[in-house]
Amino acid sequence: MISLRNVTKTYPNGVHALRGVELEVAKGEFTFLVGPSGAGKSTLLRLLFREEVATSGVVMVNGHDVGRIPLRRIPHLRRQIGVVFQDFRLLPQRTVFDNIAFALRVIEASPHDIHKRVEKMLELVGLSDRQRALPAQLSGGEQQRVTLARAMVSRPLVLLADEPTGNLDPANAQEIMRILLEFNRQGTTVIMATHAAQLVDRARQRVVEMEDGAIRRDELSAAYHEGVVR
Amino acid sequence: MRMRTWAFCLNEANLNLLRNPVLAIASITTTAVSLLVLGVFALLSLNINTITTSLENQVAVRAFFNQKTSTVQEALELKTVRSWRDVRQASVITKAQALQQLKKEFGSQASVLDSLGTANPLEDSLTVTATTPRAVAAIAKQLNAMPGVVRVSYQSAVVTRLFDLVDGVRIAGLVLGALLLLGALLIIHNAIRLGIVSRRREIGIMRLVGATESLVHWPFILEGLILGLIGSVFASGICYWLYVAAYQGAAHSLPFLPMVAPNPTARDVSLMLIVLGVLLGAIGFRLSVRRLARV
């Protein structure tokens, strides 16, 4: 599903964000990306949905050579990838329903389809009763659930989450984690960059630890810290 | 794109206009004013053109014969002149007729001519009118070359001056219109740029969830077109209405003035203004594409 081969990324300001990264993620896998800030987690995710282009190496997502994909094909790549950020990125003037529907409107889904799928997503993230609310009227946890719904409503194959619980209290973080695992259980490949050690420890999924632009550790059903066995 | 996607784009464009109403109004007003100026100057220069042409048509060339030319020879020459191309009308005016005419023109002061007694210092002349204004100068030249003709005169100065005036009005209109159009263009461009900046978040999310670039562009294209269209509809309406009013006013108080009828001329000019306005909106967007790519 996802593979990075000898990928390096050097930003124009000379920062080496990634140095020879090798990574394979199978279809349906749940992968935590951990490591200190500046380790290259976000850069790695941004390469996957072609927000950035690797300086060298090959990035493959669902059969697309992401770095060499023609510009006009990028939208089609992105329709296969859902993305969630720490800062939610909701449209403040639109209701919860419209924020989620926005993702379907721009890919020209039918109104009937939009209605059906948005309703279903609202149910899945537990916000059916808040669909007429504006983002500002929601708590942080609820806002993040809306962005999750928006990312997943077009049924992407891959979900990328860049510190999705970074702004949330433990209870809300727990709820987001539950939803992410639920999406994964339904077949979505999930890669989640995080600093939330507790969540990682409890989920016991694959952990890829990065440090200074390289992969330091890659363990299945692991904990946040190396060697910790619970 | 599907119908509902157009509706989506139109809705996004509208949102943007409503979010920056001051700038939208500024864009519409400058577009309207600049197009109106352009339209007024266009109609003005079209009218001066018509007036000039009609005056030119009325310009007669007169060739004066010397005193010794015989009536027979004058008649012969009249026949020759009538055979020329571009001659609409030609006739001989004897010096007696000319004096009669002069007395008529002097009216109540005709008595000053009595001092001439029986002498008539005037000459026989040949009066020629041309079929096209452009032929006047050529006819004058040919007449000048004829035997017995001492001099040729026609009112070239008036015509030349009017032509200069037409050119002046046309250039002034174009320069003024072009400057105002440039201003309108920059303001539309700025409105779109501001829209892009204030919609950074939407654009980012659209791209994130896989919107095509054309879908990202269309709300802004429509915004430009709507701004240009509204401005130009105002300009067009006012221009047409002003012209009809001026035309009716002139028909009443200056009936001798050969003004161009509002239809189809003013109507066509008004339609042209709308086309120009829409074009302005499109160019205004085109200038913003690079900014859009950098969001």
Identify all chain A residues contacting B205, using CB atoms and an 8 Å cutoff. 89, 91, 102-103
C-alpha distance from residue B163 to each of A2, B45, B140, B167, B207 (Å): 76, 10, 19, 6, 58
Nearest Cα neighbor of A108 from B146, B65, B6, B279 is: B6
Q: What CATH architecture is B60-154?
A: 2-Layer Sandwich (3.30)
Q: Report ipTM (2 d.p.).
A: 0.87
CB contact under 8 A, A79 and B209: yes
Q: Report yes or no: B107 and B52 within 8 Å, Cβ to Cβ.
A: no
As a three-state string, the secondary structure of A128-152 is: HHHCCCCHHHCCHHHHHHHHHHHHH
pLDDT one-digit tens code per residue, B14-54: 877 888 788 888 888 888 988 898 888 888 888 877 777 77
pLDDT at A50: 94
Q: Which residues of B touch A (CB under 8 A)?
A: 1-2, 4-5, 8, 15, 201-202, 204-213, 215
Residue A118 has pLDDT above 80, yes or no: yes
pLDDT of residue A107: 87
pLDDT of residue A229: 63
- Threshold 0.90, pTM exceeds: no
CA–CA dist B25, A145 (Å, integer): 39
pLDDT in tens, B116-135: 777 888 889 988 888 776 67
Instruction: Mark yes or no for CB contact A91/B202 under 8 Å.
Output: yes
Q: In what order do the strands lie in the sheet with A16-25?
A: A16-25, A2-10, A56-61, A64-65
**Residue range(s) in chain B whose domain bears CATH number 3.30.70.3040:** 60-154
What residues of chain B lie within 8 A of the CB of A107, using their CB?
209-211
What was the pLDDT predicted at B56?
64
